[in-house]
Each structure stands twice: as structure tokens, then as C-alpha cells.
Structure 1
Amino acid sequence: MQFGYSETCLDHDTGPRHPETADRLRAIRRGLAKRHGVEYVDASPAEKSTVAAVHDDGYVDEFHEFCRDGGGNWDPDTVAVEASWDAALTSAGLAEWAARAALDGDDGRNTPFSLGRPPGHHAVEDDAMGFCFFNNAAVAAQAVIDDGLAERVAIFDWDVHHGNGTQDIFYDRGDVFYTSIHEDGLYPGTGEVDETGEGDGEGSTLNVPLHAGAGDADYVYSFDEAIAPAVERFDPDLFIVSAGFDAHRHDPISRMRVSTEGYAMLTECVQELCEETDAAIAFVLEGGYGLDTLSEGVATVHETFDGRIAMDPEEDPDEKNVELVDDVRAAHGLGAK
């Protein structure tokens, strides 16, 4: 794979006890150093106007001034320093690079994966939250739509937390399909089955809020039985994965049970779906706070694109999650199983 990476993202200093630290990127780099076929690309930062295409101008200016004044706690969880402005623009620019590279034909072993921080999927149109300042995946999707490179973009969020920001930005839009598998009831408390979009976006949001303790089989089943048929119907030009690795069974801040192999399974699911829909694929890093499991997860995605074959789940999906997927299918007119 090609990995978008910039040292600028290391300068976003969240302090010694914050889970979202520069050590996350350092751990990923160490993990990838053991693999072959890794290429790094240092993309240009996003333009302020590109970020403002999905964020309120006043909020963007307020964040810029906040950083110029030295930063601090935007909220109890979301921290910035002076260098966070450049890091946030760089993180958004790396995501934009990934989307453009995918649509330019980079695929297979050259599939782009943006390794930016701060992450983005909680950032709403007019506010930062949940460690996120600019919504990187949303910036990337909007940029390629505005430039006429794609008419329809799907964003699949497998982070353990619901990407409320990405959902909100596109909730009334029919040209971006947002779908998420996440832990029910976890921060930020959004992402219910009945949140399906409104207006022109009715049906363009699909949430699978799995019960705590869900593992590989639950995730694969949810993708195959709900997400894949809905995305096939949407028929995107570009498929962006908001790739958080905090649903891992050893991540310190979630209760899910996805294994490292489970991320290979999900990657294969994405590959097969995009082959069927002829959609380009780009990955954008979100969460993941166990350094070993994060680095192993990213490396597993890379190895899957390098030809590694994923194992099948060792167990069946939990019946309560099967029932949940039935509810999701019903909410989106996909019929009963």
C-alpha cells in the first residue's frame, strides 16, 4: 500500500496522559517497517477553503485563532497546541490525497491509506469534539465531488465509536452514503438504526450499533448482510474507509472483541464489494489506542492488499446482533433474511 504520512502530524501535542498521541503514528511506522511493499507519500496540507467546504467558516477561523493563541483544552477531551492548526490541515490533506490517488487509479498493492492525526470523524460542521478538529474523510469526499472526480462517495466507518460528525455533515445529502459499525451506547451516543438520513439524504445513512462484546463474526455478518447490499444499491465511485482500530479486543477504551485477523476479514469484505461495484478504495486513519493492536491492525490491512488471505470467523454471529441486522435491513428496505 501507499501510506500518506507527514512528520507535521507528530507536532499535535495532546499531553502525557491523553490516549490520542503522536506515539500512535510512531507505532504504526515501526510495525510497517517489518513489512515489504510499503511506500510513504508526504502530501500537501489541505487548503483552508477545502476544509471550509464541509466546516463552518466561523468555526475554522475560531480554531485557527485558538491555535495561534497557544491552544489548550477545546473541551475536556479535545486538546490543541499552536502546532495543531498545521497538523489538522495536514491530516485533512493526507485524506484528500488518498481519495484523489484512489480515483486516479491507485489500487491493489498501491491502494492509498492516509496516516494522519488528529483524527476526524467526530468533528461536526461547526465544532470540534472527541479528539477531532477537521473531519478528514468528509473533507476528502467533498474535495473530489467538488472537482468532478466523483459523483457519489460512500464512507464506511469501522471505528468502535460512531462517526457522528461525518454523519451530520452529509445527513441531508444524496451524493454521500455514510455507514458505520460501532459499539451501541459508546461515545458519542449517536448512530441508532433509525438514523437513516433526511431530505435528499433519506436512506443515505446506515448504522449498525452492535452490542458490546461483538466480535469478528458479528462484524463480517453486518457488513455482508446490511452494508454491502446497501452500498451496491448506492453504486459509489469512491469508497472511503474511516479506519479506526479501537474495536480490537485488546484496545483499552472499548468492549468489542474484534481480533487482528478480523480486520483482515473486513478488508477482504471491502475489496470484494468494491470489485463488484467498480469503486475506488481509500483508507483514512481514525482511532485505535492500544499501540500494538493499532500497528498490527494497519499492518494487517496492508498485508491483505499485498495478497494475504484472511481466515474465516471461528464462530457464528450472536443472535441478538443477527436480529439487529434484520432491523437495519428493514429500515433500509433490503428485505428480510
Structure 2
Amino acid sequence: MQFGYSDTCLDHDTGERHPETADRLRAIRRQLSRRHGVTYVDADPASVEAVTAVHDAAYVEEVREFSADGGGDWDTDTVASEGTWDAALKSAGLAQWAAERALAGDDGRDTPFSIGRPPGHHATIDDAMGFCFVNNVAVAAQSVLDDGSATRVAVFDWDVHHGNGTQDIFYDRDDVFYASIHEEGLYPGTGALEETGEGQGEGATLNVPLASGAGDADYLLAFEQAIRPAFARFDPDLVLVSAGFDAHRHDPISRMRVSTEGYARLTDRIRTLADDVGAGLGFVLEGGYGLDTLSESVATIHETFDGRDPLEDDGDASEDTTDLLATVRARHGLA
């Protein structure tokens, strides 16, 4: 794979006790150094114009000033420092790079994966939250729509937390399809299956809120029965994965049971879908707070694109998941 990376993203300083630290990127880099075929690409930071295409201009200026003044606690979870503004622009720029390279035809061993920080999928139109200031995947999606290189973008969010910000930004739009598999009831408390979009965007949001303890078989069934048919019907030019790894069974802040190999299986499924619909495919880092599980999972995705076939899962999804998916499919006309 190609990995978008910049040391600028290390300058977002959240303090010693915060789970979202620069050590996340350092751990990924250390793990990838043991693999063959890894390349790193820097990218220009996102412009203010690209950011304000999805965020309120007054909010964007407030973040810039907050960072310039030395930062602090934006809220109880979301911390900024003097380096946050530049890191956020760089992280969004790396996501733009991933989208652009995917649409340019980079695939297989050249598939782009942006490993910037701070993460982005909780950042709403006019507020920072959940460790996020700029919605990286939203900036990337909007940029390629604005420059005409794509007319439809699908976002698959497998972070354990619902990406309320991404959903919020595109909720009334029919040119971006947002789909999320997440833990029900976890922060930020959004992502009910009844949330399907509004206005022109009705039906272009799909949420699969799985019960705590869901594992590989549940995630794979959710993808096959809900995400795959919905994306195939939408027929996107580009698929972006909001790739959080905090649903891992050993992540310290969730109760889900996805294995490292489970992320390889999901990767293989989304790669096949993108190929089937002729869409570009790019990955954008979100959460994941166990350094070993985060770095091993990213490395496993790299190995999947480098030719390693994922081991098949022989488990069964729970009855709760099967029942939930029947409801999701009926609501979205996928039955």
C-alpha cells in the first residue's frame, strides 16, 4: 500500500493521559517497518476553502484561533495544542490525497491509506468533539465532488463509534452515501437504524448498530447483507473507508470482539465490492487506541493488499445481529 503520512501530525499534543496520542502513528510506522512494499507519501495540507466546504467558516476560524492561542480543553474529551491547527489541515490534506490517488487508479499494492491525526469522523459542521476537529473523510469526499473527479462517493465507517459528524455533514445529500457499523449505545449515542437521511438524502445513510460483544461473523454478515447491496445499488465512483480499529477485541475503550484477521476479511470484502462496481478505494485512519492492536491491524490490511489471503471465519453471527439485519434490509428496501 501507499501510506499518506507527515510528521506534522505528531505536533497535535493531547497530553500524557489522553488515548489519542502521537504514539498511535509511531506504533503504526514501527509495525510497518517490518513489512515489505511499504511506501510513504506526504501531501499538501488542506486549504481553508476545502475545510469550509464542509464546516462552518466561523467554527473553522475559532479552531484556528484556539490553536494559535495555545489550545486547551475544547470539551472534556477533545484537546488542542498550538500544533493542532496545522496537524488538522495536514490530516485532511492526506485524506484528500487518498481520495485523489484512488480515483486516479491507484489500487492493488498501490491502494492509498491516509494515516493522519487528529481523526475526523466526529467533527460536525460547526463543532469539534470526540478527539476530532476537521472531518477528514468529509473534506476528501467533498473535494473530489467539487473538482468533478467523482459524482458519487460512498463512505464505509467501521470505527466502533458512530461517525456522527460525517453523517451530519451529508445527511440531506444524495451524492454521498454514508454507512456505519458501530457498537450500539456507545459514544456519541447516535447512529440508530432509523437514521436514514432526510430530504434528497433520504435513504443515503445506513446504520448498523450492533450489540456489545459482536465479533467477526457479525461484522461480515452486516457487510454482506447491508453494506454490499446498498453500495452496489448506489454505484459510487469512490469508496472511502473511515478505518477505525477500536472495535478490536483487545482495544481498551470498546466491548466489541473483532479480531486482527477480521479487519483483513473486511478489507477483502470492501476491495472486492469496489472492484465489482468499478470504484476507486481509499482508507482514512480514525480511531484505535491499543497501540499493538492498532498497528497490527493496519499492517494486516497492508498484507491483504500485498497478496496475503485472509483466513476464513468459521463462526456464526448472533441471533440479535441476524434479526437487526432483517430490519435494516427491510427499511432500505434490500430484502
Measured against the shorter chain, the TM-score band is over 0.9
Q: Provide the rounded CA distance (Å) in 2 between the counterparts of 1:220 and 1:166.
A: 22
Normalised by the length of structure 2, the TM-score is 1.00
**Quick one: distance in 2 between partners of 1:252 and 1:82?**
28
Amino acid at match of 1:239: V
Residue pairs, 1:65-144, within 5 angstroms: 65-144=65-144
Secondary structure of 2:240's counterpart equals strand
Deviation at 1:253, TM superposition (A): 0.2
Alpha-carbon separation, structure 2, partners of 1:312 and 1:214: 17
Say which SS state the counterpart of residue 266 (structure 1) adopts: helix
Where does residue 160 of structure 2 map in the other structure?
A: 160
1:244 and 2:244 are equivalent in the alignment:
yes
Q: For residues 81 and 268 of structure 2, what CA distance do their matches in structure 1 show? A: 38
Q: Paired residue for 1:26?
A: 26
Which residue does 1:8 correspond to in 2?
8
How far apart in 1 are the matches of 2:22 and 2:3?
A: 16
2:265 aligns to what? Answer: 265
C-alpha separation in 2, matches of 1:74 and 1:316: 42
- Secondary structure at 1:209's aligned position in 2? strand
Letter of the structure 1 residue corresponding to residue 103 of structure 2: L
Quote the offset at 1:314 in angstroms.
Answer: 2.6
One-letter code aligned to 1:95:
A
- How far is the alpha carbon of 1:210 from its aligned partner? 0.3
- Work out the CA distance in 1 between the residues paired with 2:61 and 2:145: 24
Structure 1 equivalent of residue 234 of structure 2 = 234
| Percent pairwise identity | 72
- Counterpart of 2:333 in 1: which secondary structure? coil
Query: How far off its partner does 1:313 sit?
Result: 1.4
Q: In 2, distance between residues paired with 1:296 and 1:142?
A: 31
Once residues 114 and 244 of structure 1 are traced to their aligned partners in structure 2, the CA distance between those partners, rounded to angstroms, is 12
> What code does the residue aligned with 1:186 have?
L
Unaligned runs of 5+ in 1: none
**In structure 1, what residue type is equivalent to 2:53?**
A
Amino acid corresponding to residue 288 of structure 1 in structure 2: G
5+ residue gaps in structure 2? none
CA distance in 1, matches of 2:170, 2:232: 19
Q: What does 1:43-58 align with in structure 2 at a 5 Å threshold?
A: 43-58=43-58
Residue 299 (structure 1) aligned with residue 302 (structure 2):
no
Residue 321 (1) aligns with residue 321 (2): yes
- In structure 1, C-alpha distance between the alignment counterparts of 2:234 and 2:259, rounded to whole Å: 29
Q: What letter matches 2:110 in structure 1?
A: N
Q: Compute the RMSD of aligned alpha carbons.
A: 0.4
Deviations 1:273-317 (A, max 9, x none): 111111100000000000000000100110001111111213100
Cα distance in 1 for partners of 2:253, 2:322 equals 25
Matched residues in 2 for 1:33 and 1:314: separation? 31
d(CA) in 2 for partners of 1:8 and 1:314?
42
Please list every run of at least 4 consecutive aligned residues from structure 1 whose deviation after the TM superposition is greater than 2 angstroms.
none
3-state DSSP of counterpart to 2:270: helix
Q: Which residue of 2 aligns with 1:310?
A: 310
SS of the residue corresponding to residue 37 of structure 2 reads coil
Q: How does 1:157-236 map to 2 (within 5 A)?
A: 157-236=157-236
SS of match in other structure, 1:179: strand
Please give the secondary structure, in 1, of the residue aligned with 2:35. coil
Amino acid across the alignment from 1:202:
E
Task: Find the aligned partners of 1:307 and 1:326 in 2 and give their Cα distance.
Answer: 34
- Report the 3-state secondary structure (helix = DSSP H, G, I; strand = E; otherwise coil) of the residue aligned with 1:328: helix
**Number of corresponding residues:** 335
3-state SS, counterpart of residue 105 of structure 1: coil
SS at match of 1:241: strand
